[in-house]
Structure 1
Amino acid sequence: MASHILVLNTGSSSIKYELVDVETHERPAKGLVERIGEETGRLTHRTGDGPPHVRERPFSGHGEGLDAMMEAFTTSGPELDPVAVGHRVVHGGTRFTEAVLIDDEVIAAIEELSPLAPLHNPVNLTGIRVACKAFPGVPQVAVFDTAFHRTLPPEAYTYAVPSEWGVRRFGFHGTSYAYVSRRAAALLGRDLTDLKLILLHLGNGASATAISGGRSIDTSMGMTPLEGLIMGTRSGDVDPALAGYLARVHGLNAQQVEHALSHRSGLLALTGTRDMREVRARDDDIARMALEIYTRRIRKYVGAYYALLGRVDAIVFTGGVGEHDAATRAASLAGLDRLGITVDPGLNETDSADERAVSPPGAEVPVLVIPTDEEWEIARQAHALVS
């Protein structure tokens, strides 16, 4: 009998799910519930090579989205009888540095950490609670985004603030970085422990990470997933005095500022949309300026991480924007030729879903595009734990 792991990747506005057999590498079904909480929602459920089961309707919350997923399995198959359910959980704090079996104590701890990832931990918990009810007795496993960055040295995770605050940097997108770093080593034909990499996970959430010998040594996101690169609705780096200024001048309280920085900033604030595809489709000065601001921030982090690493064996793009937006890749690395970093226009602009190099053959610093597979990484870790 197949040893299926159901993976739930419950994001801020979407639910990715996949049924994975880690032992045979088969994937009987996968799907996406997207635009949760918006006026139009969509569920796409795929089994094999046949046409997908598609349902378009609004999903007011993640609970409705997960109910629709269960209905899709019932309607279109396959039979859903997992040996475990693996859940992506964004913030594990200092407590969770590896995958864990979920019980009431773990659920309570994830809930306590929600103020550190208000866009994510609450919806991750929704997925956990719905799955616990749907699959009583089936092991539920939490795989934490922050766990990969447990190797950050103190000089990377320490903020220069009063120690009694008890705050530090954590880093995120860990499941993506764990998978992509291994695949980069395979694509380069080298041992991961010998490599120094700059990884760029660019999507609605975006971050950069410097990896040395398979270990995260610095990353752009901080105590929460708000710091660092510009994202769909998140500001990334801003002056810490912004909150005090807005309180004095506009009468905003801390909660209002935090909400605006998380939900009303980023590409949305710059252009009126959080979708990079829509920004690219426009031909106006606002969109052009937004793209320059977006890619300039990435370029700054690439330069900073090059300095930290001392040498770079590859730069890797992943995530929805990183994998599919050739113009963003090119602009993010523009002007770095003297560092040995260039992209080949022809290779870069070729549309492909494969792992590939987009730098010129023999480039000093290979530039790679590697589709991330967080679902596989979650399934792999969940399987290892329950086995």
Structure 2
Amino acid sequence: MILTINCGSSSLKYQLYSADLAEVIASGIIAKIGEAGGYADHKVDDGKTRIVRDIADHQAAFTLMMENLLSPDIGVITEPAQIIAIGHRAVHGGSTFVESVIVDDQVMEGLRACSTFAPLHNPCNIAGIEEAMRLFPGTPNVVVFDTAFHQTVPQHAHVYALPYELCTDHGIRRYGFHGTSCRYVSQAAADILGRPIEALSMVICHLGNGVTIDAVKGGQSVDTSIGFGTFCGMPMGTRAGDFDPAIIFHLVKTLGMSLDEVEAICYKKSGLLGLSGLSNDMREVCEAAAAGNKRCQLAVDVFVYQLRKQIGAYAAAMNGLDALVFTAGIGENSAEIRKLVCSGLGVLGIAIDEDLNQIARNGHPDISAADARVATLVVPTDEERMIATDTLQLTMQRA
């Protein structure tokens, strides 16, 4: 069996596949690690078990995961040795890691070096790998990087107009994220359209608490909205998105804020939460906007406007567009956001059928209007399957 791990700062997501990846045997999430009100949801087939307990740290979370997998009541394995390989998500591989790799000491050293690029994410990913190595000694671990898919972005699109030595000597460039999701969704979209991915120009909108917009031409990433860090590009749940860097100088020099305070604003207090003053959850923001909350309506308007601009820019960058694809939590579930975004994109040949838009999650991925020149799709992402696929391929090659 193949186990996939997605280790965050306060959560652990796992999925267990059959050795041929044909079946998801079990999955789960352990949430609120290190916080009050911790819990674990463990799913097998159509049944879900919730366990409520405080989870002190990641080691305790992994222990609970193993208890669930080995449980005589809800478990699916009888011994850890049944798991033949483990795949991990890592957010940032810098320029060091351009593809998925089997973990060894050198890889771990490289991962730690990349933590300066993603201080909120990589340390958690590393903790997950270390715990897996502790619990499964001798079992191969594979790490799959969100940044790897975007290594094909050409230099003119990923370089910043800073002193060139900063870019070459210190790895300062546009890296892009959610690449594992984008890789899966772009191929799935091509399959739905029944066209070779090499012939398609697509904009992939990964809209969740984190947001990435990707230009994918011929199956390769050619531009992406998130850059060096993980808060630029689109406004997100708590992250600011693009803004004038002069604001940072103003906050520090004029308002007397520390750099730590500014960093907290950019990553944790901005986006939907900062604009709405209510929530980082688009569902709650949309509901409040519909009830007349003006700040929530502003948050929705800003999000939709910035997304339209990004789609239009990428259509121009690729000299045309064949498909617009929505994925992730907001992209897959919010018919309202899809409607608002697409209603302003008729100039690109984008138009959706409102009835199809409402039932997109029920096996109707193509929500295009009959006369639309550009296909609009809703494609559920499956990062775990991509991680499992890479894990299986690399471990088989090593064997």
TM superposition score category, shorter chain reference: over 0.9
Runs of 4+ in 1 over 6 A off after TM superposition: none
Contact 1:353 1:371 (8 Å CA) reproduced: no
Counterpart of 1:175? 180
CA apart distance, 1:106: 1.3
Counterpart of 2:69? 73
Check if 1:126 corresponds to 2:122: no
Letter in 1 for 2:331: G
Q: Structure 1: how far apart are the matches of 2:149 and 2:286?
A: 32
Alignment of 1:29-40 (within 5 A): 29-36=26-33, 38-40=35-37
Structure 1 residues 242, 207: closer, same or farther in 2, change over 3 A? same
Structure 1 residues 13, 303: closer, same or farther in 2, change over 3 A? farther
Aligned length: 383
CA apart distance, 1:350: 1.7
**3-state SS of 1:356 partner:** coil
Letter in 1 for 2:230: P
Aligned sequence identity (%)? 42
CA deviations 1:216-242 (Å, max 9, x no partner) are 000000012211011111111111112
Contact 2:21 2:388 (8 Å CA) reproduced: no
Q: Structure 2: how far apart are the matches of 1:310 and 1:340?
A: 13
Counterpart of 2:383? 374
**Structure 2 portions without partners, runs of 5+:** none
Letter in 1 for 2:112: E
Q: Structure 1: how far apart are the matches of 2:236 and 2:189?
A: 24
Q: Structure 1: how far apart are the matches of 2:358 and 2:240?
A: 28
TM-score, reference length from structure 1:
0.94
Counterpart of 1:55? 51
CA apart distance, 1:55: 1.8
**Structure 1 portions without partners, runs of 5+:** none
CA apart distance, 1:351: 5.6
Counterpart of 2:242? 237
Contact 1:355 1:371 (8 Å CA) reproduced: no
CA deviations 1:250-305 (Å, max 9, x no partner) are 22222321222112211121223212222223221121111111111111100101
Higher mean Cα deviation, 178-187 or 257-266?
Answer: 257-266
**3-state SS of 1:110 partner:** helix
Letter in 2 for 1:96: F
Contact 2:2 2:18 (8 Å CA) reproduced: yes
TM-score, reference length from structure 2:
0.92
Letter in 1 for 2:280: R
Counterpart of 1:16? 13
Q: Structure 2: how far apart are the matches of 1:331 and 1:61?
A: 41
Q: Structure 1: how far apart are the matches of 2:254 and 2:335?
A: 41
Q: Structure 2: how far apart are the matches of 1:384 and 1:214?
A: 20
Identify which of 184, 204, 208 aligns with 1:203. 208
Higher mean Cα deviation, 57-66 or 74-83?
Answer: 57-66
Letter in 2 for 1:68: L
**3-state SS of 2:108 partner:** helix
Identify which of 311, 315, 328 aligns with 1:306. 315
**3-state SS of 1:316 partner:** strand
**3-state SS of 1:46 partner:** strand
